[in-house]
Chains A and B, each alone.
Chain A
Amino acid sequence: MGTVAVHGLCKSFGKVQALDGVTLDVPDGSFFVVLGPSGAGKTTTLRAIAGLEKLDAGSVHLDGRDATGDAPAARDLAMVFQSYALYPRRTAYENIASPLRARRCSSSEIAAAVEQMSSLLHIERLLQRRPAQMSGGEMQRVALARALVRRPRAFLMDEPLTNLDLKLRVEMRTELTRIHRSLGATFVYVTNDQVEAMSMADRVAVLKEGKVQQVGTPTEVYERPANQWVAGFVGSPRISLLACRAEGDRLVGEGWTLPRPRWTTAEDGRPLLLGLRAEDLSVEQRGDASLPGELYGLEPLGDRTVVDVRVGTEILKVKARPTVTGTPGERLHVTVDLDRAHLFDAGTGLALSEAGR
């Protein structure tokens, strides 16, 4: 068992409201990612679960039992800190052994567990070193080993890959997913990197300014963002948003019209934002759903080229084949896959009901 549930977490630091009613339900055995920009309250949420933060309001339930006031040690959780927080005067071996020493395991048990962990994470040769003698990636593995050496209720990870270089980060992503699968344990993983969230998570909670914006599978969050902000935060290149309004069976924007998507229920004249992801746009003209614009710039990325097209005053990001060419200022049409477009209320930013879809 390893379910984690938090309800209505509130926490302020002075005048800053770090958490504003955060409610999350982490199912047993899931890889649950809390995603958000810096300052969104992700780390505070994690620390609240761990019992390191005194809450202004709200409750933490572990395995269905109220653990709100419990000491961190009583919660049976393990955590990987963003800074790794390895004990500086101790060797890697002693760092990894620490959770077992705290539980008064015998030294033979400890030796066996540390050995098993170090072979799982390929850090056998580091065991006698101190943190100061290790690289960032090595410290990260030792910190991970210290968390994994026990079988706690759940693992809490606070941006464990943020301080690694890109290559190592990609490697560790795969490795963490593998470890999660082989352990079948509950992971609560905090990150500001949406790629990590998309590639590793079973479920994602998107946090902004201490409030949960959306919870769902990575696909749900990507395909059906609950609001304009989530749509903008998740996805790279960033989703393009065009101001428009519905008029009869058409969507009318600044210098363009599109057929109104069948599923939208917006009444005429209401200010809307049309959200278009780069992969749902094309610079090859086909069909009647297209926007007139002019070429603004090209970003060749190797496997693809992102074409910036100016439509009215907005810049649309369009994903195109790497062979695409053009000169800035050139007139062109951008074909829109309207079935995959998103509409948001321009005032509230909330996604329009997509019931018909």
Chain B
Amino acid sequence: MAVSVDEAVSTGPARDHTPSARRLGGRGRSVLEVALLTVLAVVMLFPVLWMIETSIKENRDVYAIPAKFFGFKVTLDHFKDVFAASGGGRSALSVSFLNSIVVAGVSTALATVLGVPAAWAYSRFSVKAKKDQLFFILSTRFMPPVVVVIPIFLMYRQVGLIDNKLGLILIYTAFNVPFTIWMMKGFVDEVPAEYEDAAMLDGYTRLQAFWKFTLPLLLPGIAATAVFALIFSWNEFVFAIFLTSSDSVRTAPPAIAGLIGGTTVDWGLVAAASVVFALPVLVFAYLVRKHLVAGVTLGAVRR
């Protein structure tokens, strides 16, 4: 009792302290804040803006000196070139986008299917050396992926996974499963185990209890986690460029990078391809933004 009273007393002044500290800054600070944020926003957003502008400029405007920010003629030719080959039919870039969709989609789905039940198990059951296992799982994310590119390349060559979409899917899944487990464990921890207990006493098996009662409550968390996994797989460049070579297998990041180089660079095409590449992720993140924010704070902050 004495301890709790002391705590109650000591938290009072501490809580009062925060708003008064904020008040000290006053208006001057907020002006500074706005100014700094504006500068930062311009610096951050300029490349994006320039990319979008370049993608809709005609080639002579792209190379114009001085550069034209406004008053150029808008064209969608570059976007046409992204999807259609000049001689008719599909372009190599459009194939790479399709590959990206398949590789990112399948690896995210696999990571979710494997990671969510694993997270549930780690959250609900007493597993031997649970903390060590979880640390081990997390530790696979400690090193930069580049470190293992060469060993993976050699192993893949042995089993014939070089220049193979399955190879990329497997490696992305391997990277996303630990992430999914860690992120989802936070969400599962938030759902009281008693729902499952009650369901089991109602007459459901443990798996049914998970499937029918806990899983629906986890959907926002799964959406948030899947978006992160999707973005990782979609953006991944290093493994993609090392492990694939043919246009029919290559994903979009190395394919777009491949446009740069040679004697001339079609910057309009590069910009258009980049815009197309950035869009799905932006749209997806926008769609699940509510879950994303709720998910990140729910999963990460409370525990």
- Interface residue ranges, A against B (CB under 8 Å): 47, 50-52, 54, 71-73, 77-79, 81, 83, 85-89, 98-99, 101-103, 146, 156
Q: Which 6 A-B pairs have the closest CB atoms?
A: A102-B203, A85-B194, A72-B200, A85-B198, A99-B202, A73-B203
CB contact between B201 and one of A54, A72, A83 (< 8 Å): that residue: A72
By a CB distance below 8 angstroms, the chain A residues around B204 are 73, 102
B141 vs chain A, min Cβ distance (A): 28
Given contacts A83-B192, A85-B192, A87-B213, A52 and B197 within 8 Å (CB-CB): yes
Cβ A85 vs Cβ B202 within 8 A: no
B217 at the interface (CB under 8 A from A): yes
Q: List 13 A-B contacts (CB under 8 A).
A: A47-B197, A50-B201, A54-B126, A73-B202, A78-B201, A81-B194, A81-B197, A81-B198, A85-B197, A98-B198, A102-B202, A103-B203, A156-B201
In the complex, residue of chain A having the shortest beta-carbon distance to the beta carbon of B200:
A72
- The verdict on B223 contacting chain A, using a C-beta distance below 8 Å, is no
Which residue of chain B is the closest to A147 with respect to CB atoms?
B201
Contact check, A71 vs B198: say whether CB atoms are below 8 A apart: no
Residues of B near any A CB (own CB < 8 A): 126, 192, 194-195, 197-206, 208, 213, 216-217
Contact partners of A79 in chain B: CB under 8 A: 197-198, 201
Q: Which of A72, A87, A99, A102 is B195 in contact with, Cβ under 8 Å?
A: A87
CB distance from A91 to the nearest CB of B (A): 14
Assembly CA distance A73 to B212 (angstroms): 15
Which B residues touch A72, using CB under 8 A? 197, 200-201
Cβ of A89 and Cβ of B217 under 8 Å apart?
yes
State the main secondary structure of chain B at its contact with A: helix
Complex: A275 Cα to B124 Cα, angstroms: 46
Taking the closest CB of chain A, its distance from the CB of B61, in whole angstroms, is 55
Complex Cα distance, B203 from A89, in Å, reads: 19
B199 cross-chain contacts in A, Cβ below 8 A: 87, 98, 102
Measured in the bound complex, the distance between the Cα atoms of B237 and A120 in whole Å is: 65
Nearest to A74 among chain B residues (CB) is B203
- Chain B residues with Cβ under 8 A from A98's Cβ? 198-199, 202
A52 touches B203 (CB 8 A): no
- Indicate the member of A72, A88, A98 with the most B CB atoms within 10 Å: A72
Residue among A54, A71, A85 with max Cβ neighbours from chain B (10 Å): A85
Q: In the bound complex, how far is the Cα of B198 from the Cα of A72, in angstroms? A: 9
Identify B205's interface contact among A71, A77, A88, CB under 8 A. Answer: A71
Q: Does B195 lie within 8 Å of A73, measured CB to CB?
A: no
Task: Determine how close the nearest CB of chain A comes to the CB of B126; give it in whole angstroms.
Answer: 8
Residues of B within 8 Å of A52, CB to CB, are: 197, 200-201
- Give Cα A159–Cα B201 distance, bound, in whole angstroms: 17
Interface centre among B126, B192, B195 (most CB of A within 10 A): B195
Closest-by-CB residue of A relative to B191 is A88
CB distance from B58 to the nearest CB of A (A): 54
A89 cross-chain contacts in B, Cβ below 8 A: 216-217
Q: Is the CB of B216 within 8 A of A71?
A: no
Query: Are B205 and A85 interface neighbours, CB within 8 A?
Result: no
Q: Which residues of chain B have C-beta atoms less than 8 A from A54's C-beta?
A: 126
User: Does A71 lie within 8 Å of B197, measured CB to CB?
Assistant: no
Give the Cβ gap from B169 to chain A, nearest Cβ, in Å. Answer: 33
Q: Closest B-chain residue to A99, C-beta based?
A: B202
Residues of the A chain whose Cβ atoms lie less than 8 Å from the Cβ of B205: 71, 73
Contact of B203 among A81, A88, A99 (CB under 8 A): A99
A73-B200, A86-B198 known; 18 new pairs, CB 8 Å cut-off, are A50-B201, A51-B200, A52-B197, A54-B126, A72-B201, A78-B201, A81-B197, A85-B197, A87-B195, A87-B213, A88-B217, A89-B217, A98-B199, A99-B203, A102-B203, A102-B208, A103-B203, A146-B198
